Amino acid sequence: MILYFLRHGKAGSPHPTDDDARRLTDRGRAALRAAAPLWRRLNLRPDVVISSPLPRALETAELFCEAVGGDPITDDGLRPGASWGQLARAMAAHPDARRVMFVGHEPDLSAAIVELTGAASVRMRKGGLACLEFYGIPEPGGGEIAWLLDPDLYTDDDEGA
């Protein structure tokens, strides 16, 4: 089984009253669009793309799907603060999926990758994408990091996507 983890792109400054409403910036959208040729060269074809419902994550998922095909599905379990258990429950709703993309937030995605692989640490920058491989059902400590794409591969933005 393959799990992909895509951190949302660069978003506007946090709002003191409603951080959940933040959307991607123009630069964030442009950087994700610049990633599309690389995503296509990697032949990314997730069976399902599960996104946090927050606008910055959902916009990221939509841009990803625009580039490689498909439609994102939102799941409240991927809101900020999500644990691997919540991601696993979201994935369980799609039992036939063998390649699953999660689009969400930090530090949730990095924490899930660390838990699933036993890595000492992982840093997912805005717009970063990781691929984990499993010989069966994804379980803590059972995955291997196949690759991790830093957004600098597809953007000149020093701050990431």
In this structure, which topology does domain 2-12+23-153 adopt according to CATH? Rossmann fold (3.40.50)
Please report, as a single letter, which amino acid is at residue 38. L
Task: Kindly report, residue by residue over 66-93, the tens digit of the pLDDT.
Answer: 999 999 999 999 999 999 999 999 999 9
- Does this model's pTM top 0.95? no
Contact 57, 8 (CB under 8 A): yes
What count of Cα atoms within 13 Å lies in the side-chain half-sphere of residue 76? 0
- Two structure tokens written together for 151: 């957004």
Q: What is the pLDDT of residue 156?
A: 58
Integer-rounded Cα Rg, in Å, for the chain is 14
